[in-house]
Structure 1
């Protein structure tokens, strides 16, 4: 019915416009303007349909419109069966296909018995010469058409319904990504960005994480509470973000913990390499380009940059000491990166850190004592998590993961040895992993026991060496005193 109405009305309007063009040639311009105004009002009065346009990009924004993307997902899921021309997007390692309307396609949707017409279209800037045309210059938009008597229900209820449904579909089909920064910009989608990414598919979860179950539960509850506290953070006047400091020896599972956090909350990960950042301005730009629902990670923060050694040495009289060696080393570091401690602090909790929401900032380090106290105080790194050596409870998690064992007669021996040994979960896991088809659970446990016993012998030898070194140093000091 609408197609017939539009055809008839189009013919009438075309004839009227022809008459109007002839009329303008014979009557004064001022009179013509008045008549044109009344003519448009007359057409509007008789034309029964209202059109709403949703553009892919707003005039003052560089990112795609969230409303446009939600409509695209909604129409792809609900109207793709009726559309004749579709666009396909393969996601999740070629295991799923998402369909959406092709350009210039029109479909009919229905809401509470009301018919709504959607059309996908695009335009090319008029000043764009055909020989300089590029695909990214196209301006895409969706056009929504409905009868004016349904204006209130369409604009007040239906549009919001489409946006909500589109966001739900986005959550179900979302591909999580692992980002890293580089020294040059990259073309991603529809813009230049300082981040490049791959799909994030790390298998680590809190169920497989080798850690004391009590500490694991505490961290898990903290993360879930954070993800559900949007209104609470707004109430107390704080940005919706939280900082985590993971510290401990290498091989204690810090990277696995970050992956488990991302899998639990369904967040993207931004792995920030500070040594690739030129200065504080570039660091701020990187922060602005990060999205909500993400984890910003700086691994080995104590090794990334010399953030605490940027003050000159002082003499006893308080004057600055210009050490040429220190200055030359400092100059070399400046050539690599001029990121300062102040710039990093502003990155964590300054004004610019509030440009996004629902984000975790995670630092990892093997030497927490080397970090500046201002960097890890509460409010910046809100929760400090020690990733320690393997204990018996951690071992039982690893035995369940690697050998599918919950009890064994050798567990008691392993537990007794772990009480007097410092072995990382990574080393324990390596011993428990079968290396051939002939190895079974018992042989793997025996391998672990042997490794723990060898670790004891190594510790005993080290103590003997240290005691002998101490004795030799004492004898040398005694001899020097006697000579004096």
Structure 2
């Protein structure tokens, strides 16, 4: 026994001596090499004898795209974490007045499906070099790891994981909040995002019932047309052109579309996009089930073919007559372009709408709005790009009745017919009508007061229209008299 103790003490002293040499005298690079070699092959040896397998689900599948499997797993485990996990992350959802629970950092949870046990863990790693993606710049890598017995490999891949993804997506859809995004000044990121809480619904829209029903049916058909688009070999997307005077409800219609379909809205400011390359990046970053909105497309950039043709003609004439003048014009154009800060071209926008890159996602709607449809290049709004052209015009009797129902809770009134006749004679927008029938005080202003106010406004507009027509007629007569077309 004494011999064994002395031999053990001698061996221990030898090990301590070697450890001291290792720690204090070997260079740091040799330390790193030994530790790397030991860690790598120890892990391989353990894996060789271990009956368990693991699958890692990273937060990002590549630089451009967030991993949908990661998001589904996060939603699936969130509900289980609230009852089973010891460590949790929680965010307060102000709109829903509830807590959103997620699995805690580096926490593990067990799951049982059809008698098969698996273990999930959430891992967050710090890295020295920032992880750069178009979603975020971070010094953290995050992933979920699934561990299970090797004998259940086929069951896990064929049954359990599809179940997790399906359940996770269903949970996400139940808890989903519509979002409104807009691109930042640098043009590259959808860096401004808020919850979309616009209350507009199709039943509230002030437009002809037949037109409203047509739009509603078209949207519902599109939402269920995935197989049809695959059958005809086209990306699952649709374009809507909304045109008409200001105040006719174009933006309200877009909000109603988003609420009906439960889609996010990406409000694209073209003037903030530097070039076609950035435009493609923005398209890549949009999610499926979304509306990409470009408002006032005719004012966003100089994209019409007619204007381009006119500029080219002017330049050619300037070249022939005055080369120096053309030089100054070129310098001015360069300064204007620099000031505008965008080199997006008509060709780039067309490719954005229905080029190869437009097929990088599905179930998307692209909406253009404009007050001047005649200014748009025909190539921009042809069928296949803008599939449905919807004119939103002035307020007529049918639209007025919807506004009266929404604002005043009135289905009928003796003044309705008189107001309807006036609306057929003059052009006023739904926004004008809404402004005049909105009660200034819910306690003291009656519905009849509001209708009378609208009647006075319409009568005044009718007189102004008549006076303007008389003035134009007199002016026209004066011009003809001056030119000798008619005698005094």
8 A contact 2:293–2:367 mirrored in 1: yes
Return the alpha-carbon distance in structure 2 between the equivalents of residues 43 and 353 of structure 1. 44
Question: Structure 1 pair 224/116, CA: closer, same or farther in 2 (3 Å)?
Answer: same
Distance 1:79 1:183, change over 3 A: closer
The structural deviation recorded for 1:355 is: 1.6
Higher helix proportion (structure 1 or 2): 2
Is structure 2 residue 349 aligned with structure 1 residue 344? yes
Q: 1:44 to 1:327 in 2, by over 3 A?
A: closer
Deviation at 1:179? 1.4
2:267 is aligned with 1:286: no
Q: Deviations over 1:307-343 (max 9, x none)?
A: 222233538x999767748646533432212222112
**Kept in 2: contact 1:314–1:320 (CA 8 A):** no
TM-aligned CA distance change 1:397 to 1:237, over 3 Å: same
Alignment partner, residue 161 of structure 2: 159
- 1:148 alignment partner in structure 2: 150
Aligned CA distance change for structure 1 residues 81 and 135 (closer, same or farther; 3 Å): farther
Task: Give the equivalent residue in structure 1 for 2:399.
Answer: 394
- 1:217-236 superposed Cα distances (whole Å, 9 cap, x missing partner): 11011011111111111111
- Report the TM-score, using the length of structure 1 for normalisation: 0.82
Q: Distance in 1 between matches of 2:46 and 2:377?
A: 73
Distance change in 2, residues 1:283/1:53 (3 Å): closer
1:446 to 446, 452, 456: 452
Q: Partner residue of 2:364?
A: 359
Query: Residue in 2 aligned with 1:255?
Result: 251
SS at match of 1:338: coil
Aligned pair 1:271/2:267, yes or no?
yes
Mapped pair 1:110 → 2:112 = yes
Q: Which residue of 2 aligns with 1:333?
A: 336
**CA–CA distance in structure 2, aligned partners of residues 42 and 86 of structure 1:** 30
Which residue is equivalent to 1:30?
A: none
The Cα of 1:62 is off from its aligned counterpart by: 4.5
The whole-number CA distance in structure 2 between the counterparts of 1:128 and 1:221 is: 51
- Is it true that 1:405 corresponds to 2:407 in the alignment? no
RMSD: 3.0
Find the residue that maps to 2:83 and give its secondary structure: coil
CA pair 289-53 structure 1, distance change in 2 beyond 3 A:
closer
Work out whether residues 90 and 99 of structure 2, in 8 Å CA contact, stay in contact via their aligned partners in 1: yes
* 2:161 match: secondary structure: helix
Query: Which one of the candidate residues 80, 83, 93 is aligned to 1:91?
Result: 93
Q: Distance in 1 between matches of 2:467 and 2:455?
A: 19
- 2: CA distance, partners of 1:64 / 1:258: 27
Q: How many residues align?
A: 434
Does 2:54 correspond to 1:51?
yes
Aligned-partner Cα distance in 2 for 1:139–1:173? 25
In the alignment, is the contact (CA less than 8 A) between 1:79 and 1:109 conserved in 2?
A: no
CA apart distance, 1:69: 1.6
Question: 1:182 aligns to what SS in structure 2?
Answer: coil
Listed as ranges, the gaps of 5+ residues in structure 1 are 1-17, 19-35, 186-191
1:196 corresponds to 2:192: yes
Say whether the 8 Å CA contact 2:76–2:164 is kept in structure 1.
yes
Change (3 A) 1:128 1:182: closer
Give, in whole Å, the separation in 2 of the partners of 1:481 and 1:109: 98
* Equivalence for 1:462: 468
What is the match of residue 8 of structure 2?
none
Residues 297 and 361, structure 1, Cα contact 8 Å, conserved in 2: yes
Are the counterparts in 2 of residues 227 and 358 from structure 1 also a CA contact under 8 Å? yes
Residues 42, 201 of structure 1: alpha-carbon distance in 2 compared, 3 angstrom cutoff: closer
2:138, 2:300 → 1: CA distance?
A: 38
**Equivalence for 2:390:** 385
**What secondary structure, in the 3-state scheme, does the structure 2 residue paired with 1:245 have?**
strand
The worse-fitting range, judged by mean Cα deviation, of 85-94 and 65-74 is: 85-94
Structure 1 residues 438 and 224: CA distance shift in structure 2, 3 A: same
Alignment-derived partner of residue 313 in structure 2: 314
The alpha-carbon distance between structure 1 residues 43 and 251, as it changes in their structure 2 partners (threshold 3 A), is closer
Residues 239 and 319 of structure 1: is their aligned pair in 2 closer, same or farther, counting only changes over 3 Å? Answer: farther
Give, in whole Å, the separation in 2 of the partners of 1:213 and 1:165.
Answer: 39
Match of 2:241 in 1: 245
Change (3 A) 1:389 1:140: same
Any unmatched runs of 5+ in structure 2?
1-14, 16-39, 131-135
